Amino acid sequence: QGGVEVGRCSCAGSLDCGANPIGGSCTVSEYGDPFDVMGNSSAMHFSAFQKQMLKWIPDASVSTHSGGAATYTLNPIETAGGARYAVRIPAGPNRTYWLEYRQPIGFDSGISAANANGAQVRVVRPFETLCSGCDAYSNDTELLDMTTATNTFADAALATGSRFVDNYYGIAIDVLSRTASALTVRVSSLGKGIGPDFDANATTD
Protein backbone atom coordinates (compact mmCIF):
# COMPACT_ATOMS: atom_id res chain seq x y z
CA GLN A 1 0.00 0.00 0.00
CA GLY A 2 1.20 3.51 -0.76
CA GLY A 3 2.39 5.88 1.94
CA VAL A 4 2.06 3.29 4.64
CA GLU A 5 3.25 2.32 8.08
CA VAL A 6 3.28 -1.36 9.01
CA GLY A 7 -0.31 -2.53 9.46
CA ARG A 8 -1.71 0.82 8.33
CA CYS A 9 -3.22 1.72 4.93
CA SER A 10 -3.23 5.39 3.95
CA CYS A 11 -4.46 5.83 0.41
CA ALA A 12 -6.58 8.39 -1.42
CA GLY A 13 -8.96 6.42 -3.58
CA SER A 14 -12.06 7.03 -5.64
CA LEU A 15 -15.43 5.30 -5.74
CA ASP A 16 -17.03 4.78 -9.17
CA CYS A 17 -20.70 3.80 -9.01
CA GLY A 18 -21.58 4.48 -12.63
CA ALA A 19 -24.62 6.72 -12.92
CA ASN A 20 -24.77 7.33 -9.15
CA PRO A 21 -22.29 9.11 -6.88
CA ILE A 22 -22.80 6.20 -4.47
CA GLY A 23 -25.14 3.23 -4.59
CA GLY A 24 -25.59 0.02 -6.54
CA SER A 25 -22.51 -1.74 -7.88
CA CYS A 26 -19.31 0.26 -7.36
CA THR A 27 -15.61 -0.05 -8.07
CA VAL A 28 -12.87 1.34 -5.83
CA SER A 29 -9.65 2.64 -7.35
CA GLU A 30 -7.19 2.56 -4.48
CA TYR A 31 -5.13 5.52 -5.76
CA GLY A 32 -7.89 7.17 -7.80
CA ASP A 33 -8.19 10.56 -6.06
CA PRO A 34 -6.54 13.13 -8.37
CA PHE A 35 -6.80 15.89 -5.75
CA ASP A 36 -4.75 14.30 -2.97
CA VAL A 37 -1.02 13.58 -3.02
CA MET A 38 -1.88 10.17 -1.51
CA GLY A 39 -3.57 9.36 -4.81
CA ASN A 40 -0.07 9.16 -6.33
CA SER A 41 -1.07 11.19 -9.39
CA SER A 42 -0.33 14.82 -8.45
CA ALA A 43 1.45 16.92 -5.82
CA MET A 44 -1.72 18.48 -4.46
CA HIS A 45 -2.75 19.01 -0.84
CA PHE A 46 -3.86 16.22 1.45
CA SER A 47 -7.62 16.04 1.91
CA ALA A 48 -9.10 17.70 5.00
CA PHE A 49 -9.57 14.27 6.58
CA GLN A 50 -5.88 13.43 6.24
CA LYS A 51 -4.84 16.92 7.40
CA GLN A 52 -6.94 16.52 10.54
CA MET A 53 -5.45 13.07 11.17
CA LEU A 54 -1.96 14.60 10.87
CA LYS A 55 -2.96 17.52 13.15
CA TRP A 56 -2.16 19.98 10.37
CA ILE A 57 -5.57 21.53 10.92
CA PRO A 58 -7.12 21.80 14.40
CA ASP A 59 -9.97 19.54 15.47
CA ALA A 60 -12.06 22.66 16.07
CA SER A 61 -11.94 23.45 12.34
CA VAL A 62 -13.93 20.27 11.55
CA SER A 63 -17.66 20.37 12.31
CA THR A 64 -19.63 17.17 12.89
CA HIS A 65 -23.21 17.12 11.64
CA SER A 66 -25.30 15.63 14.43
CA GLY A 67 -28.75 15.61 12.84
CA GLY A 68 -31.51 17.85 11.63
CA ALA A 69 -30.60 20.54 9.10
CA ALA A 70 -27.63 22.88 9.50
CA THR A 71 -25.75 25.36 7.31
CA TYR A 72 -21.95 25.43 7.31
CA THR A 73 -19.42 27.80 5.75
CA LEU A 74 -16.16 26.21 4.63
CA ASN A 75 -12.85 27.96 4.05
CA PRO A 76 -10.44 26.66 1.38
CA ILE A 77 -8.15 24.03 2.89
CA GLU A 78 -5.16 25.68 1.18
CA THR A 79 -5.40 28.83 3.30
CA ALA A 80 -4.16 29.26 6.86
CA GLY A 81 -6.27 30.45 9.77
CA GLY A 82 -9.66 29.26 8.51
CA ALA A 83 -12.49 28.85 10.99
CA ARG A 84 -13.90 25.69 9.36
CA TYR A 85 -12.20 23.44 6.82
CA ALA A 86 -14.52 20.44 6.74
CA VAL A 87 -17.87 18.98 7.72
CA ARG A 88 -17.95 15.40 8.96
CA ILE A 89 -21.27 13.58 8.43
CA PRO A 90 -21.64 10.22 10.22
CA ALA A 91 -24.37 8.90 7.90
CA GLY A 92 -24.45 5.32 9.19
CA PRO A 93 -22.37 2.60 10.84
CA ASN A 94 -20.42 1.95 7.63
CA ARG A 95 -20.39 5.38 6.05
CA THR A 96 -19.00 8.77 7.05
CA TYR A 97 -18.90 11.68 4.60
CA TRP A 98 -16.39 14.52 4.66
CA LEU A 99 -17.02 17.80 2.80
CA GLU A 100 -14.26 20.26 1.93
CA TYR A 101 -13.62 23.28 -0.29
CA ARG A 102 -10.64 23.53 -2.65
CA GLN A 103 -9.28 26.51 -4.57
CA PRO A 104 -6.43 26.85 -7.12
CA ILE A 105 -3.88 28.07 -4.56
CA GLY A 106 -0.26 26.96 -4.17
CA PHE A 107 0.13 23.19 -4.59
CA ASP A 108 -3.52 23.12 -5.68
CA SER A 109 -3.02 25.66 -8.47
CA GLY A 110 -3.96 22.99 -11.04
CA ILE A 111 -7.52 22.59 -9.71
CA SER A 112 -10.00 23.29 -12.48
CA ALA A 113 -12.80 25.86 -12.39
CA ALA A 114 -15.33 23.03 -12.05
CA ASN A 115 -13.72 21.77 -8.85
CA ALA A 116 -13.27 25.28 -7.48
CA ASN A 117 -17.03 25.80 -7.82
CA GLY A 118 -18.31 23.37 -5.22
CA ALA A 119 -17.71 20.87 -2.45
CA GLN A 120 -15.51 17.82 -2.73
CA VAL A 121 -17.20 14.85 -1.06
CA ARG A 122 -15.33 11.82 0.29
CA VAL A 123 -16.30 8.75 2.27
CA VAL A 124 -13.94 7.61 5.01
CA ARG A 125 -13.70 5.10 7.84
CA PRO A 126 -15.59 3.26 9.13
CA PHE A 127 -16.25 2.88 5.41
CA GLU A 128 -15.69 -0.69 4.22
CA THR A 129 -11.97 -1.51 4.36
CA LEU A 130 -10.82 -2.94 1.06
CA CYS A 131 -7.11 -3.53 1.67
CA SER A 132 -5.85 -6.74 3.23
CA GLY A 133 -3.85 -6.33 6.43
CA CYS A 134 -5.50 -3.04 7.41
CA ASP A 135 -6.19 -2.55 11.09
CA ALA A 136 -8.41 -0.27 13.16
CA TYR A 137 -6.13 2.67 12.35
CA SER A 138 -6.64 2.41 8.60
CA ASN A 139 -7.56 5.75 7.09
CA ASP A 140 -8.31 5.36 3.42
CA THR A 141 -10.60 7.89 1.76
CA GLU A 142 -12.68 7.55 -1.40
CA LEU A 143 -13.58 10.58 -3.53
CA LEU A 144 -17.14 10.53 -4.89
CA ASP A 145 -17.92 11.64 -8.45
CA MET A 146 -20.73 14.19 -8.25
CA THR A 147 -20.70 14.77 -12.03
CA THR A 148 -21.49 11.28 -13.27
CA ALA A 149 -22.39 12.41 -16.81
CA THR A 150 -18.64 12.53 -17.57
CA ASN A 151 -16.19 9.64 -17.35
CA THR A 152 -13.62 11.42 -15.22
CA PHE A 153 -13.03 12.46 -11.61
CA ALA A 154 -11.46 15.73 -12.80
CA ASP A 155 -14.85 17.43 -12.30
CA ALA A 156 -15.93 15.43 -9.23
CA ALA A 157 -17.06 18.35 -7.04
CA LEU A 158 -20.71 18.90 -6.12
CA ALA A 159 -21.27 22.20 -7.90
CA THR A 160 -22.78 25.32 -6.37
CA GLY A 161 -26.55 25.14 -6.76
CA SER A 162 -26.55 21.33 -6.78
CA ARG A 163 -27.89 18.71 -4.37
CA PHE A 164 -26.72 15.20 -3.46
CA VAL A 165 -29.01 12.79 -1.63
CA ASP A 166 -27.97 9.52 -0.03
CA ASN A 167 -31.32 7.76 -0.15
CA TYR A 168 -30.14 4.77 1.86
CA TYR A 169 -28.97 6.69 4.93
CA GLY A 170 -31.18 9.74 4.39
CA ILE A 171 -28.56 12.49 4.04
CA ALA A 172 -28.91 15.50 1.74
CA ILE A 173 -26.12 17.94 0.87
CA ASP A 174 -26.92 21.25 -0.84
CA VAL A 175 -24.19 23.61 -2.03
CA LEU A 176 -25.77 27.03 -1.61
CA SER A 177 -23.18 29.63 -2.60
CA ARG A 178 -19.50 30.38 -2.92
CA THR A 179 -16.88 33.08 -3.05
CA ALA A 180 -13.13 32.66 -3.50
CA SER A 181 -12.76 32.47 0.29
CA ALA A 182 -15.91 30.62 1.44
CA LEU A 183 -18.35 27.90 0.41
CA THR A 184 -21.77 27.60 2.08
CA VAL A 185 -23.42 24.19 2.30
CA ARG A 186 -26.52 22.84 3.99
CA VAL A 187 -26.62 19.30 5.37
CA SER A 188 -29.99 17.71 6.17
CA SER A 189 -30.82 14.43 7.89
CA LEU A 190 -33.91 13.05 6.14
CA GLY A 191 -34.30 9.67 7.82
CA LYS A 192 -33.06 6.29 6.65
CA GLY A 193 -34.66 4.97 3.47
CA ILE A 194 -35.29 1.50 2.18
CA GLY A 195 -33.63 -0.53 -0.54
CA PRO A 196 -30.18 -2.01 -1.11
CA ASP A 197 -26.95 -0.32 -0.13
CA PHE A 198 -24.03 -0.21 -2.55
CA ASP A 199 -21.69 -3.14 -3.22
CA ALA A 200 -18.01 -2.30 -3.78
CA ASN A 201 -17.20 -5.24 -6.01
CA ALA A 202 -13.66 -4.60 -7.22
CA THR A 203 -10.44 -2.85 -6.29
CA THR A 204 -7.76 -1.57 -8.66
CA ASP A 205 -4.35 -0.06 -8.00
Q: Would you say residue 30 has pLDDT above 70?
A: no
Q: How many CB atoms lie within 10 A of CB 130?
A: 17
Confidence of residue 38 (pLDDT cuts 50, 70, 90): low
User: How do strand 25-29 and strand 12-16 relate by DSSP bridges?
Assistant: antiparallel
Q: What are phi and psi for residue 193, nearest 5 degrees?
A: -95, -165
Q: Would you say residue 79 has pLDDT above 60?
A: yes
CB 26 within 8 A of CB 128: no
CB 8 within 8 A of CB 133: no
- As a whole number, mean pLDDT of residues 111-140 equals 67
Q: What is the pLDDT of residues 97-117, one digit of tens each?
A: 999 998 877 777 777 787 778
User: Where are the extended beta strands (E) located within the chain?
Assistant: 12-16, 25-29, 62-64, 69-74, 86-92, 95-101, 118-124, 141-144, 158-159, 163-166, 171-178, 183-189, 199-204
Separation between Cα atoms, residue 76 and residue 195, nearest integer Å = 36
Q: Which helix (H) or strand (E) holds 95?
A: strand 95-101
Kindly report whether the global pTM for this prediction surpasses the value 0.85.
no
Per-residue confidence (pLDDT) for residue 140, from 0 to 100: 72
